[in-house]
Amino acid sequence: MNSKKAQIIGQVFIFILAAGLAVLIIGYGYNAISSFTSRTEDIAFINFKTDLQTEVRTMASDFGSVKRLDLNMPGRFQMLCLIDLNKRNIAATSCLCTQCQGIYKNDYQPEICDAWTTSGNLENAFLVPITPFKLSSMEIENGYICIFPRGNKISLKIEGRGDRTKVSEWT
| Tens digit of pLDDT at every position of the chain (171 positions) | 556 666 677 788 888 888 888 898 888 888 888 777 778 888 888 999 999 999 999 998 889 899 999 999 988 899 999 999 888 888 888 888 888 877 777 788 888 888 888 878 889 999 988 889 999 889 998 889 999 999 889 999 999 998 999 999 998
Q: Nearest Cα to 115, choosing from 139, 142, 141, 143? A: 143
Neighbours of 19 (CB within 10 A): 10
Q: Which helix (H) or strand (E) holds 75?
A: none
Q: Residue 165 in contact with residue 158, Cβ under 8 Å?
A: yes
Strands 66-72 and 153-160: antiparallel
Is 160 within 8 Å of 60 (Cβ atoms)?
yes
Check residue 33 and give its pLDDT.
83
Beta bridge partners of 144: 83
Q: In sequence order, what are the residues at sequence separation of 6 or more whose Cβ sits closer than 8 angstroms to the Cβ of residue 154? A: 70, 71, 73, 80, 147
